[in-house]
């Protein structure tokens, strides 16, 4: 495991953030999480493109290019000797006396590189449980912002209910999970919430659309209600860290037969193929 802050690699427990740092005090920044397989970051370009878009959306004046970030991450992976693990990359509006308007200081770039274990096999084989929860977040959820309080509160409620994820509901329709995108399968078609300001454009979502295309599985982007979700043939979630994960029970209601569905399994397998092709 290794850390990085503004030009130098550090130990993870080194004290490097001054109290008056805007990520720390305001959550004034954005981030990315990238999964590393066999020492290689998967869909790195896409993650970095989204990071640049998040920076632009909150008017963070970064001078680093996608290429600069790529070099930084690859250097970090090498230094940390990371094989299977996750890279967390964060950009904030820097270190300045606490005051709301933008300061004229350099942005702060920090990163952690951590060895991780793959998701417990039981979750994949049996599927996970979820709750539904009001989407109490702001109107710009397409930005991968550091402000995660509503996500954290909903996730905690899920955990306290013995569940893995909270599925967020806005204006009567499913938006996404607290840290995932949500899908249902009905009559052979995969259905997911359309991209808008209210959800994050998941990188795994992008890969799953490609996987569905390769498998000739119909893929539809449309809004769906919690009621439709409970009556679906299959439900699953995606994220960089969980990949494609079946959800078999929501708010105590069993989805179909209560076991991972066939289309979910096929998409998971095709996602593994995409990884194999991308990683040497």
CA-closest candidate to residue 112, choices 88, 137, 93, 142: 88
| Catalytic annotation, pick one of 140, 144, 155, 275 | 144
CB atoms within 10 A of CB 183: 27
Q: How far is the CB of 31 from ligand PMP (least distance, A)?
A: 9
Tokens of 125: 């084989």
HSE value, Cβ hemisphere, 13 Å, CA-based, for 223:
11
Q: Is residue 276 among the annotated active site residues?
A: no
C-beta of 92 vs 240, nearer to ligand PMP: 240
State how far the alpha carbon of 128 is from the alpha carbons of 60, 88, 133, 171, 239, in Å. 37, 25, 16, 25, 14
**CA–CA dist 226, 204 (Å, integer):** 22
C-beta of 209 vs 217, nearer to ligand PMP: 209
C-beta of 16 vs 33, nearer to ligand PMP: 33
At 246, phi and psi to the nearest 5?
Answer: -70, 140
Secondary structure class of 2 (helix, strand, coil): strand
Count Cβ neighbours within 10 Å for each residue of 67-106 and write b for 16 or more, e otherwise. Answer: eebbebbeebbeebebeebbbebbbbbbbbeeeeeebeee
The residues binding ligand PMP (CB under 6 A) are 33, 176, 179-181, 200, 202-205, 238-240
Q: How far is the CB of 202 from ligand PMP (least distance, A)?
A: 3
C-beta of 95 vs 229, nearer to ligand PMP: 229
C-beta of 82 vs 245, nearer to ligand PMP: 245
Secondary structure class of 84 (helix, strand, coil): coil
CA 47 to the chain's CA centroid? 10
C-beta of 98 vs 140, nearer to ligand PMP: 140
**CA–CA dist 260, 233 (Å, integer):** 10
Q: How far is the CB of 210 from ligand PMP (least distance, A)?
A: 13
Tell me how far apart the terminal alpha carbons of the chain are, to the nearest angstrom.
Answer: 23
Catalytic residues: 144
């Amino acid at each position: 495991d290794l850390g990085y802050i503004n030009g130098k690699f550090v130990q993870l427990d080194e004290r490097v953030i001054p109290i008056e740092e805007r990520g720390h005090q305001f959550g004034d920044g954005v981030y990315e999480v990238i999964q590393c397989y066999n020492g290689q970051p998967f869909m790195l370009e896409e993650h970095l493109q989204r990071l640049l878009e998040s920076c632009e959306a909150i008017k963070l004046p970064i001078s680093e290019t996608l290429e600069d970030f790529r070099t930084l991450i690859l250097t970090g992976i090498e230094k940390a000797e990371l094989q299977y693990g996750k890279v967390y990359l964060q950009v904030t509006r820097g270190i300045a006396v606490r005051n709301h308007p933008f300061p004229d200081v350099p942005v702060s770039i920090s990163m952690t590189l951590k060895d991780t274990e793959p998701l417990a096999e039981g979750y994949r084989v049996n599927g996970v449980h979820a709750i539904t929860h009001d989407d109490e977040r702001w109107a710009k959820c397409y930005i991968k912002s550091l402000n995660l309080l509503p996500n954290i509160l909903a996730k905690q409620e899920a955990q306290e209910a013995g569940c893995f994820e909270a599925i967020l509901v806005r204006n009567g329709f499913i938006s996404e999970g607290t840290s995932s995108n949500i899908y249902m399968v009905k009559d052979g078609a995969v259905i997911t919430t359309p991209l808008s300001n209210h959800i994050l454009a998941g990188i795994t979502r992008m890969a799953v659309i490609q996987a569905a295309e390769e498998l000739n599985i119909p893929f539809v982007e449309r809004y769906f209600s919690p009621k439709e979700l409970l009556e679906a043939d299959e439900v699953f979630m995606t994220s960089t860290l969980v990949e494609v994960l079946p959800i078999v029970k929501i708010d105590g209601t069993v989805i179909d037969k209560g076991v991972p569905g066939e289309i979910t399994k096929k998409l998971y397998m095709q996602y593994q193929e995409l990884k194999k092709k991308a990683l040497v």
